[in-house]
């Protein structure tokens, strides 16, 4: 059975981060006020009062982190949410005049320049994307790290660290824990350097992944049901055998290796560059790119301006400043939250759709660099990531993994939000190790992410002729899915999906007969004027993942508690769940929704009396699966009660 880490329902509240400030290199402490073009937000917004609660005993430690969580603060991804494309989590800079920052920056710069990553990596091409550029109104360039020998940038950092090991240490071998791209990077690096490599992977790792690592010559050890157990094994064995543990991101040599991506972009890019969009997980890639670009590209600007520096200064006057913008999934925003709070925090749960960036805590060194050098973080939805995977396929006939399409999704959203026009923008396509099963989810959500398809629900009376009236009011709109079931009530709910397209020069071009957002709104108004209440449910993951498949008449079930669980990918996960709740309580609803190799979201209805809720919660917590109660969700009440 597959499993997927649960995406928490989005909070309806808007929590904007600080915006509109830029720092000169070497952290002088002075602020540059961003001069905006078009519909920019100019004001620097204050930090929202998102509470950080003390950590409790966690059911699992940091996902994909090289060490257990060191932060004492746990936060929810929902505590920091802002519109897609908005540049939030802009870090505040502090004054530091002791010169350490400059010395440290030069160390990174010289080591990136001297890196030997090209023993295994290629200088990936920087390709122009003409179709996407025409659509969004900028000059969009794709840094094709998905074309590396292991289809990911990860081999750069792994090789750079391993190549610097003393010969006697290299002879003892290396070890790492990974179920994805880092494992292949370490394996190929070890093969090139002629050293022994052990890769610890969870027993639930799909065969296609561990076989690909094994073919590269590494010894694969399948151990533990989770990444954390595999990591603990790897670190223990490293100490016992004297092997070197190779972390996925939080090590200076790993960061320097990833920084060669930034070096290549500056060398390859002709003309002024507005921004580089970088996918963020633990932070190794963006820290490395920022460490190079921010120390090279803006230096002339700083030298020209430092003698007449003022507290407020438009960066438009310093035209060669390049923004380094991180992109994270809205349900896996560990870096954004850390920058927002000024310290590393641990997510209480993390969405796993983009599993390559699904971390609960960013690295210590990566955070330090990002706090000094990064310009902010853009958050995007799962739908937007799916849309960008489709965009990349139509542009280059290449299929990216979700984490690999993350930067592209962020670049598209940012350019749309700020009305950017004519600027050079780079998005890093960081990986192409796509699981084939996940393509089903991508195809279902891509048009929603493109804003070309809407999920709607209409309430209509249960009487003769009402269905015909509904169809007449819909008109010529193209319906791709329709669900209706007669009930014993006086009203029925129709759930359906409609295709539409944005008629805009900058974003979506139209052909004759294609419907627009305005026409969609006109259809909804026709429904409302005929007393047919219509709801737009497009943004609800609960509807898209579960409720749309369960339509068939509404029913009131006594004492029903509705929960979304994350079933881990390991044998016996379902039986463990049933042993926890059955036969103590009746299970009234069960919908399993696999999303590729990373797992499954499961919607469960359980009949629990009010005086038994404390016992239910205790059992649910002891189960050890991430879950959230959604009984009071408005869309569930609309469709099923």
Q: What are phi and psi of 551, to 5 degrees?
A: -65, 140
Integer Cα distance of 84 and 414 in angstroms: 7
User: 509: buried, middle or exposed (CB in 10 Å: 19+, 13-18, 0-12)?
Assistant: middle
Task: Give the whole-angstrom CA distance, residue 162 versus residue 43.
Answer: 46
Cα 92 from chain centroid?
Answer: 23
**531 vs 517: CA distance, rounded Å:** 21
Cα of first residue to Cα of last residue in the chain, in angstroms, is 30
Selected catalytic residue, list 235, 430, 438, 544: 430
Query: CA-to-CA distance for 523 and 353, rounded, in angstroms?
Result: 33
- The CA angle 88-90-94, to the nearest 5 degrees, is 165
Q: Determine phi and psi for 607, rounding to 5 degrees.
A: -85, 110
Give yes or no: 154 in active site. yes
Q: Which of 139, 143, 154, 396 is catalytic?
A: 154
**Whose CA is closest to 158, among 126, 192, 125?**
192
Is 430 among the residues known to form the active site?
Answer: yes
Cβ of 103: how many Cβ atoms within 10 Å? Answer: 9
CB atoms within 10 A of CB 272: 12
Q: Tokens 């350097």 belong to which residue? A: 193
Q: How far apart are CA 138 and CA 588, in angstroms?
A: 51
Tokens found for residue 324: 């380094």
Which of 283, 301, 311, 305 is closest to 372 using CA atoms? Answer: 283
Element containing residue 378 per DSSP (H, E) = strand 376-380
Q: How many CA atoms lie within 13 A of 578 on its CB side?
A: 7
State the sign of the Cα–Cα–Cα–Cα dihedral 215, 221, 226, 232: negative
326 in Cβ contact with 369 (< 8 Å):
no
Residues tagged active-site: 154, 430
């Amino acid at each position: 059975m597959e499993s997927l880490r649960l995406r928490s329902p989005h909070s309806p509240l808007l929590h904007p981060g600080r915006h509109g400030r830029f720092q000169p290199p070497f952290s002088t402490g002075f602020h540059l006020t961003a001069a905006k073009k078009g519909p920019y937000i100019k004001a620097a917004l204050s930090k929202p009062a998102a509470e950080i609660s003390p950590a409790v005993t966690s059911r699992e430690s940091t996902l994909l982190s090289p060490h257990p969580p060191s932060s004492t603060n746990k936060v929810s991804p929902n505590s920091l949410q802002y519109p897609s494309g908005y540049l939030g989590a802009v870090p505040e800079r502090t004054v530091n005049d002791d010169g350490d920052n400059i010395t440290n920056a030069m160390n990174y710069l010289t080591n990136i320049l001297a890196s030997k990553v090209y023993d295994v990596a290629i200088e990936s091409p920087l390709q122009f994307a003409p179709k996407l550029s025409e659509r969004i109104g900028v000059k969009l360039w794709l840094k094709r790290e998905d074309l590396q020998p292991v289809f990911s940038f990860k081999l750069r950092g792994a090789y750079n660290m391993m190549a610097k090991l003393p010969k006697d240490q290299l002879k003892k071998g290396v070890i790492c824990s990974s179920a994805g791209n880092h494992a292949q990077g370490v394996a190929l690096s070890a093969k090139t350097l002629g050293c022994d490599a052990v890769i610890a992977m969870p027993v639930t790792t799909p065969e296609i992944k561990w076989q690909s690592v094994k073919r590269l010559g590494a010894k694969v050890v399948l151990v533990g049901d989770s990444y954390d157990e595999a990591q603990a094994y790897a670190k223990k064995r490293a100490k016992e055998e004297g092997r070197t543990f190779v972390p996925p991101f939080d090590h200076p040599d790993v960061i320097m290796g990833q920084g060669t991506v930034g070096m290549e972009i500056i060398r390859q890019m002709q003309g002024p560059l507005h921004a580089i969009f970088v996918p963020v997980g633990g932070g190794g890639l963006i820290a490395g790119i920022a460490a190079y670009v921010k120390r090279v590209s803006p230096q002339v600007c700083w030298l020209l301006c430092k003698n007449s520096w003022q507290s407020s200064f438009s960066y438009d006057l310093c035209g060669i400043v390049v923004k380094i913008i991180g992109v994270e999934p809205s349900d896996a925003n560990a870096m954004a939250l850390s920058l927002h709070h000024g310290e590393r925090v641990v997510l209480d749960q993390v969405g796993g759709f983009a599993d390559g960036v699904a971390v609960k805590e960013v690295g210590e060194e990566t955070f330090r660099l990002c706090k000094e050098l990064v310009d902010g973080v853009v958050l995007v939805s799962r739908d937007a990531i799916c849309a960008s995977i489709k965009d990349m396929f139509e542009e280059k006939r290449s299929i990216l993994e979700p984490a690999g399409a993350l930067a592209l999704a962020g670049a598209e959203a940012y350019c749309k939000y700020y009305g950017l026009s004519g600027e050079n923008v780079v998005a890093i396509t960081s990986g192409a190790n796509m699981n084939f099963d996940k393509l089903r989810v991508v195809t279902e959500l891509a048009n929603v992410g493109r804003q070309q398809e809407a999920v709607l629900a209409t309430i209509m009376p249960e009487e003769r002729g009402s269905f015909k009236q509904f169809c007449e009011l819909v008109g010529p709109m193209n319906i791709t899915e329709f669900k209706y079931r007669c009930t014993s009530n006086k009203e029925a709910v129709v759930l359906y999906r409609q295709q539409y397209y944005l008629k805009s020069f900058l974003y979506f071009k139209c052909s004759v007969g294609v419907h627009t957002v305005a026409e969609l709104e006109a259809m909804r108004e026709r429904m409302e004027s005929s007393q047919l209440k219509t709801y737009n449910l497009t943004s609800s993951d609960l509807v898209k993942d579960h409720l749309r498949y369960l339509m068939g008449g509404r029913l009131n079930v006594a004492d029903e508690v509705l929960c979304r669980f994350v079933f881990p990918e390991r044998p016996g996960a379902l039986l463990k769940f049933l042993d926890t709740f059955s036969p103590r309580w009746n299970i009234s609803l069960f919908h399993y929704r696999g999303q590729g190799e990373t797992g499954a979201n499961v919607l469960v209805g359980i009949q629990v009396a009010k005086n038994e809720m404390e016992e239910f919660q205790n059992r649910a917590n002891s189960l050890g699966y991430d879950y959230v109660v959604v009984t009071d969700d408005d869309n569930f009440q609309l469709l099923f009660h």
